[in-house]
């Protein structure tokens, strides 16, 4: 399913007056694409997600999602913080979204178990979040998002607060899952490595009131894309340099 | 184990020292004995009034009044406090009234309670309930207000209705605050029941203290005070067990 944002203008009221975040922003994300969004702090990356999912409705222009009236059933949103409910076990936390959408059925437990096994945390199924490490919490939050089985996934810096090894593991998993299930994924990240590793496309935002500074297609000639294999590809350094320069140029302004 | 026993002993040490000192100082003159009583006399009064059934009956009466008032006040307060989450405007409008109710000294409205609801149990329960309701309102409202906005956004991203957010997020998130309110309200419920009994009653620990004070039976006053403290410990123990069961994730 395509996501199309047309002529989006968005401002925030602040005590110092109105701050414009987007001015005539046009953006199209094609079905099945994995797109990373990079840009300076405060350039409107999270605001973009809120517009796409419909949490923020105060804007002009329009977000076209093939005329879907209830966007929330086809979009899953994973926020920066894991936001696990401390009074629920891992299993119960994973079910929250499904429970709200009344999608829990007889296959749910088996499905959750598969994901937990895949992410290596099946032994934690009945644990409370207070017993989990940062990486384990993030894995649970990711499974909670994946369980919604939405066509579109919005990931807002989901791996920023976890250790390097776990991050590489999750990057590999999320890329694989996206391709296996033909998901459309938008990932906000500050990590250029991460953006190159998992994405088909990297979009670099300008400082506000912004638009798109660079829209870069990322392809690798490797059979099985993984955080290790792409780093060994000569193209990796070239992509890194291009994205780095795009971001640095904005800092200089 | 040994360390635990030592800690308990160290905790009790100041109390034991105080009681010994009290007993020793008071034993020197009968005038002091009359004015302050002594730990041994209080102990005898406790034993005597337990055996003749006076104190068990008073504990039962005050305990019931405080318990009913406690339950009513906390349920009503929690309901109002959590409901205020639904409307910020109503919360802002009602805030001065809640502060005003909380600021009223409970002693000052006790006579009206007796006039309106009579000298029976009803007035005592009402006063205990009024004593607890403000804290229950403010604590539950604060609990609802302090729910992480990101968590609410996550629920909204799932497509949750306001009722689903309330029942699946706001209420469970506020439980920690509600338990704080319950702990604080134990003493307020007992105080409400006590004051009502003190002003007008036929039985109960408040009435017993009033009556014993009037006849200069200081030992019985102290014995009744100890019973109130024991009631507070009992209530606290029950709340502790509830908290351990409901908030086992903590």
A250: confidence class by pLDDT, cuts 50, 70, 90: low
Q: What is the pLDDT of residue A147?
A: 94
Report long-range pairs for A235-242 (Cβ below 8 Å, ≥24 apart): A236/A196, A239/A196, A239/A202, A240/A192, A240/A193, A240/A196, A242/A214, A242/A216
- B167 lies within 8 A of chain A by CB: no
pLDDT higher than 90, residue A15: no
Mean pLDDT of chain B: 92
Closest residue of chain A to B249, computed from CA coordinates: A87
Q: What is the pLDDT of residue B2?
A: 80
pLDDT by residue (tens digit) across B64-76? 999 999 999 999 9
Q: What is the pLDDT of residue A201?
A: 94
Give me the total of CB pairs closer than 8 Å, taking one residue from chain A and one from chain B: 52
Q: Which tokens belong to B176?
A: 């920690």
Average pLDDT over residues A134-163: 90
Confirm if A30 and A2 have CB atoms less than 8 A apart: yes
Pairing label, strands A60-64, A3-14? antiparallel
Q: Do B249 and A128 touch (CB under 8 A)?
A: yes
pLDDT higher than 70, residue A67: no
Q: What is the pLDDT of residue B171?
A: 95
A251: confidence class by pLDDT, cuts 50, 70, 90: low
pLDDT higher than 80, residue A210: no
- Looking at residue B166, the DSSP 8-state letter turns out to be I
Average pLDDT over residues A171-189: 90
pLDDT higher than 80, residue A70: no
Q: What is the pLDDT of residue A76?
A: 93
> What CA–CA distance (Å, rounded) separates A68 from A4?
12
Q: What is the pLDDT of residue B58?
A: 96
Residues of A in contact with B175 (CB under 8 A): 87
Q: Do B157 and A75 touch (CB under 8 A)?
A: yes
- Residue A105 falls in which region: left (phi positive, over 0), alpha (psi -120 to 50) or beta: beta
H-only helix segments in B104-148: 106-117, 121-145
pLDDT by residue (tens digit) across B135-194? 999 999 999 999 999 999 999 999 999 999 999 999 999 999 999 999 999 999 999 999
**C-alpha count within 13 angstroms, C-beta hemisphere, residue A252:** 6
Residues of B in contact with A87 (CB under 8 A): 172, 175, 247, 249
pLDDT higher than 60, residue A253: no
Q: What is the pLDDT of residue B232?
A: 97
Closest residue of chain A to B158, computed from CA coordinates: A97
Nearest CA of chain A to the CA of B162: how many Å?
A: 11
Cα–Cα distance list, A245 to A249, A251, B183 (Å): 6, 10, 59
pTM, 2 dp: 0.84
Cis status of the peptide bond prior to B90, with omega within 30 of 0: no
Q: Do B158 and A96 touch (CB under 8 A)?
A: yes
Mean pLDDT of chain A: 88
On the 0-12 / 13-18 / 19+ scale of CB atoms within 10 A, A224 is exposed
Q: Which of B150, B173, B247 sits opposite A79 (nearest CB)?
A: B150
Q: What is the pLDDT of residue A252?
A: 55
Three-state DSSP at A165 gives helix
A144: confidence class by pLDDT, cuts 50, 70, 90: very high
Q: Which tokens belong to B85?
A: 């989450």
């Amino acid at each position: 399913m395509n996501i199309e944002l047309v002529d989006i203008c968005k401002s925030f009221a602040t005590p110092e007056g109105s701050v414009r975040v987007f001015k005539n922003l046009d953006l199209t994300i094609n079905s099945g694409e994995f797109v990373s969004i990079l840009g300076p702090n405060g350039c409107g990356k999270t605001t973009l997600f809120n517009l796409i999912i419909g949490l923020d409705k105060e804007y002009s222009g329009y977000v076209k999602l093939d005329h879907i009236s209830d966007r929330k059933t086809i979009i899953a949103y994973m926020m920066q913080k894991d936001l696990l409910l401390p009074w629920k076990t891992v299993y119960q936390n994973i079910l929250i979204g499904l429970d709200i959408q009344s999608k829990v059925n007889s296959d749910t437990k088996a499905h959750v178990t598969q994901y937990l096994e895949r992410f290596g945390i099946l032994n934690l199924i009945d644990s409370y979040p207070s017993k989990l490490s940062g990486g384990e919490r993030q894995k649970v939050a990711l499974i909670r998002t994946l369980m919604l089985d939405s066509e579109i996934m919005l990931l807002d810096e989901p791996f920023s607060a976890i250790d390097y090894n776990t991050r590489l593991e999750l990057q590999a998993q999320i890329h694989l899952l996206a391709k296996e299930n033909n998901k459309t994924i938008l990932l906000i990240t500050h990590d250029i490595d991460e953006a190159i590793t998992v994405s088909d496309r990297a979009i670099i935002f300008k400082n506000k009131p912004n638009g798109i500074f660079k829209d870069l297609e990322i392809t690798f000639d490797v059979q099985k894309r993984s955080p290790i294999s792409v780093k060994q590809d000569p193209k990796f350094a070239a992509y890194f340099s291009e994205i780095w320069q795009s971001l640095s140029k904005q800092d200089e302004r | 184990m040994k360390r635990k026993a030592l800690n308990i002993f160290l905790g009790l040490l100041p109390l034991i020292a105080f009681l010994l000192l009290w007993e020793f100082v008071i034993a020197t003159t009968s005038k002091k004995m009359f004015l302050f009583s002594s730990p041994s006399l209080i102990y005898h009064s406790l034993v005597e009034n337990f055996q003749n059934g006076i104190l068990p009956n008073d504990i039962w009466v005050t305990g019931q009044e405080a318990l009913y008032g406690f339950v009513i006040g906390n349920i009503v307060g929690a309901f109002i406090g959590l409901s205020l989450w639904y409307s910020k405007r109503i919360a802002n409008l009602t805030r001065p009234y809640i502060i005003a109710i909380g600021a009223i000294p409970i002693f000052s409205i006790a006579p009206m309670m007796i006039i309106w609801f009579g000298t029976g149990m009803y007035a005592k329960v009402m006063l205990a309930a009024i004593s607890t309701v403000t804290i229950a309102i403010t604590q539950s409202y604060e609990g609802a207000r302090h729910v992480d906005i990101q968590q609410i956004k996550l629920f909204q991203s799932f497509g949750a209705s306001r009722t689903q957010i309330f029942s699946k997020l706001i209420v469970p998130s506020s439980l920690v605050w509600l338990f704080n309110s319950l702990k604080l309200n134990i003493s307020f419920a007992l105080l409400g029941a006590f004051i009502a009994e003190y002003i007008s009653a036929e039985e109960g620990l408040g009435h017993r203290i009033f009556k014993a004070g009037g006849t200069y039976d200081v030992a019985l006053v102290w014995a009744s005070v100890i019973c109130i403290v024991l009631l507070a410990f009992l209530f606290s123990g029950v709340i502790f067990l509830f908290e351990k069961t409901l908030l086992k994730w903590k």
